[in-house]
C-alpha cells in the first residue's frame, strides 16, 4: 500500500511539473528569438515588480495578474528582484498557462555590479548562480539579465568589462550544469554619448563565450505623438542594424505626455524595425505615484493603513484584483492587438551576422579600448587619480559588493512624482527599478 501511495505521489508531482512546463521554450538564434516550434518570438512584455519582495511567490496574485496580462496581449514579464530560495512553481505555472514568459535579473540588492566601486567576486557569482538554479527549471524562463543600468552615466564605461565577465562566468556555469541555453544578457540605460559603443562592446570579440546573448535597451525617447525621426528611434534603428544578437527594448513607455498612447509600439513591431528588434517591455504593471502603471489594486491608502495591512506599501495597495488604469491599459491593448509580425521561421533562418568591432576609447567618452582582457573572478577595478585609465587588481574572492543605487539617465522616471516621504520608504527598494 505504501509503495502505491509513493507511486501515486510521484505521478502527481510529475504531472504538476509537466503542467508548469507545458509551453514551448524560447531560444536565441543569431539576432532573433524563436519558440521551440520554430516560430519567431516577439516580446510584448510588462515590467512586473509589485514590491521590493519577490512578486513570484504569491500564486493567487500571479493568477489574477496573468489573466489581466493575457487580456492585454502581453506574452512576457520582466522581474528585477527575486528570492532564489523561494518556491516559484505556482506563479510560473500561472504565467505559463497564459503564454507569458519571464525575463529575470540575476542580481540581488547587495550583489549588483557597482560602477563606482567595481568588482566581480565569488559572493556575487554565487548569488547570481542561485537565481539561475531556481529559474532554469521553468520552461517559460526566456532570459537572464546580468545587470540593469550598471552604467548609468557616460563616465562609467570602465565597468563594462565587469559586466562582460559576469556574463562569461554565468554562461559557463549554465553550460557546466547542462542547463537549457537560456540567454544571458544586459539591460542598458540609454546614454546618447555611449551609443552604440556599449551595445557593441558587450557583443564584440571572436570568443562567443565572453559575449552577452541578448541586449536590452531602457529607452524613453518616444513621448506622445512622435515618429521615427522626431523620437530618435531612427538612430537607434541605425545602430541596431546588423547586430548579431537579439536586441529589444527592456524598458519603454514615456509618460511625459499623458495619457500614454504607446505609438512607439507600431514602429517597434512595424516593417521598419521588426526585422531588427525583437519587441519591447512596457514600464510598468502597477500604478504608483510616478504614473507609469497600467493597473492598480484600488485607490491610494493613508500611510496609517500600513500598520493594519501588510499589502500596502508607501500608500499603494500591492495585491488584489487588477483594475485597468484608464486609458493607458486599453491604449496599449489596442496597439498590441493590431501588431502581430510573423517574422521568420527558424527553418528559413541561417544567421550570418558577425560580431561588431570592439570600439576604441575616445577622450571624454567611451573609455574601454578595444577587446581588452576581461577581469577574472575576484578582481576589482582600480583607476588612477584622473579616472582615465584602469587596471584590475586581485581581491579576496569572498569580498562583499558595495552596490549602491546609480543615478537615473532616463529623465528620473524612478522618482518622478514621488513625495519626500515615499522616497524615504523606497530607498532600499530602488536599485532594481
Q: Where are the domains of the chain?
A: 2-429
Q: How far apart are CA 85 and CA 75, in angstroms?
A: 26
Catalytic site residue from 251, 284, 288, 414:
251
- Average pLDDT in the chain: 86
Annotated catalytic, 149? yes
Cis upstream peptide for 320 (omega within 30°): no
- Is 384 or 120 the better-scoring residue by pLDDT? 120
Q: How far apart are CA 65 and CA 128, in angstroms?
A: 27
Catalytic site residue from 27, 107, 139, 149:
149
Closest CA to 322 of 287, 273, 280, 277: 287
Confidence of residue 383 (pLDDT cuts 50, 70, 90): low
Using the structure block, give the residue that is written with the C-alpha cell 549554465: 174
**Range 41-50 average pLDDT:** 97
Closest CA to 123 of 169, 88, 156: 169
In the three-class reduction of DSSP (H, G, I as helix; E, B as strand; rest coil), residue 195 is classed as coil
Closest CA to 37 of 99, 105, 102: 99
Q: How far apart are CA 79 and CA 145, in angstroms?
A: 10
Tens digits of residue pLDDT in 228-265: 999 999 999 999 999 999 999 999 999 999 999 999 99
Contact between 326 and 261 (Cβ < 8 Å): no
Q: List, in sequence order, the alpha helices (H) in 107-217.
A: 122-135, 160-176, 197-203
Confidence of residue 430 (pLDDT cuts 50, 70, 90): very low
Cell of 152: 548609468
Spell out a b/e string for 216-242, using b for 16 or more CB atoms within 10 Å of the CB, else e.
Answer: bbbbbbbbeebebeebbbeebbebbee
CATH for 2-429, options being 3.30.565.10, 3.40.109.10, 3.20.20.80, 3.60.40.10: 3.20.20.80
Confidence of residue 397 (pLDDT cuts 50, 70, 90): very low
**Range 120-126 average pLDDT:** 97
pLDDT at 161: 98
Closest CA to 322 of 91, 77, 66: 66
Residue 43 pLDDT greater than 80, yes or no: yes
Contacts of 301 (CB under 8 A, 6+ apart): 309, 312, 315, 316, 317
Annotated catalytic, 52? no
Closest CA to 397 of 126, 40, 110: 126
Q: How far apart are CA 390 and CA 383, in angstroms?
A: 4
Residue 385 pLDDT greater than 70, yes or no: no
Contact between 393 and 380 (Cβ < 8 Å): yes
Amino acid at each position: 500500500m505504501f509503495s502505491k501511495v509513493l507511486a501515486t505521489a510521484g505521478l502527481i508531482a510529475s504531472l504538476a511539473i509537466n503542467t508548469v512546463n507545458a509551453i514551448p521554450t524560447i531560444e536565441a538564434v543569431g539576432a532573433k528569438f524563436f519558440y521551440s516550434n520554430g516560430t519567431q518570438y516577439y516580446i510584448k512584455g510588462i515590467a512586473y515588480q509589485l514590491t521590493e519582495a519577490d512578486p513570484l511567490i504569491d500564486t493567487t496574485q500571479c493568477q489574477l495578474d496573468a489573466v489581466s496580462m493575457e487580456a492585454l496581449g502581453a506574452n512576457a514579464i520582466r522581474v528585477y528582484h527575486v528570492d532564489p530560495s523561494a518556491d516559484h512553481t505556482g506563479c510560473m505555472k500561472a504565467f505559463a498557462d497564459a503564454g507569458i514568459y519571464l525575463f529575470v535579473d540575476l542580481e540581488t540588492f547587495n550583489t549588483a555590479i557597482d560602477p563606482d566601486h567595481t568588482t566581480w567576486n565569488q559572493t556575487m557569482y554565487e548569488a547570481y548562480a542561485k537565481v539561475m538554479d531556481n529559474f532554469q527549471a521553468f520552461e517559460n524562463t526566456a532570459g537572464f539579465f546580468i545587470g540593469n543600468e550598471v552604467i548609468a552615466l557616460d563616465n562609467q564605461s570602465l565597468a563594462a568589462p565587469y559586466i562582460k565577465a559576469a556574463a562569461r562566468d554565468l554562461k559557463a556555469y549554465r553550460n557546466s550544469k547542462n542547463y537549457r541555453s537560456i540567454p544571458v544578457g544586459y539591460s542598458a540605460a540609454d546614454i546618447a554619448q555611449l551609443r552604440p559603443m556599449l551595445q557593441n562592446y558587450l557583443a564584440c570579440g571572436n570568443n562567443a563565450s565572453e559575449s552577452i546573448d541578448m541586449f536590452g535597451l531602457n529607452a524613453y525617447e518616444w513621448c506622445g505623438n512622435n515618429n521615427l525621426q522626431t523620437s530618435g528611434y531612427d538612430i537607434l534603428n541605425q545602430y541596431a542594424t546588423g547586430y548579431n544578437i537579439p536586441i529589444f527594448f527592456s524598458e519603454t513607455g514615456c509618460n511625459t505626455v499623458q495619457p500614454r498612447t504607446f505609438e512607439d509600439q507600431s514602429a517597434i513591431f512595424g516593417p521598419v524595425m521588426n526585422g531588427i528588434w525583437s519587441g519591447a517591455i512596457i514600464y510598468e504593471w502597477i500604478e504608483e505615484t510616478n504614473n507609469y502603471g497600467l493597473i492598480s489594486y484600488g485607490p491610494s491608502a493613508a500611510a496609517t493603513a500600513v500598520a493594519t495591512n501588510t499589502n500596502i506599501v508607501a500608500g499603494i495597495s500591492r495585491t488584489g484584483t487588477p483594475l485597468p488604469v484608464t486609458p493607458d491599459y486599453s491604449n496599449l491593448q489596442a496597439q498590441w492587438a493590431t501588431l502581430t509580425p510573423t517574422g521568420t521561421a527558424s527553418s528559413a533562418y541561417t544567421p550570418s551576422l558577425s560580431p561588431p568591432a570592439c570600439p576604441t576609447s575616445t577622450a571624454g567618452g567611451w573609455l574601454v579600448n578595444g577587446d581588452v582582457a576581461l577581469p577574472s573572478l575576484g578582481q576589482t577595478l582600480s583607476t588612477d587619480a584622473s579616472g582615465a585609465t584602469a587596471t584590475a587588481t586581485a581581491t579576496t574572492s569572498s569580498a562583499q559588493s558595495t552596490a549602491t543605487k546609480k543615478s537615473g539617465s532616463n529623465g528620473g522616471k524612478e522618482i518622478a512624482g514621488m513625495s519626500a516621504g515615499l522616497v524615504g520608504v523606497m530607498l532600499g527598494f530602488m536599485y532594481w527599478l
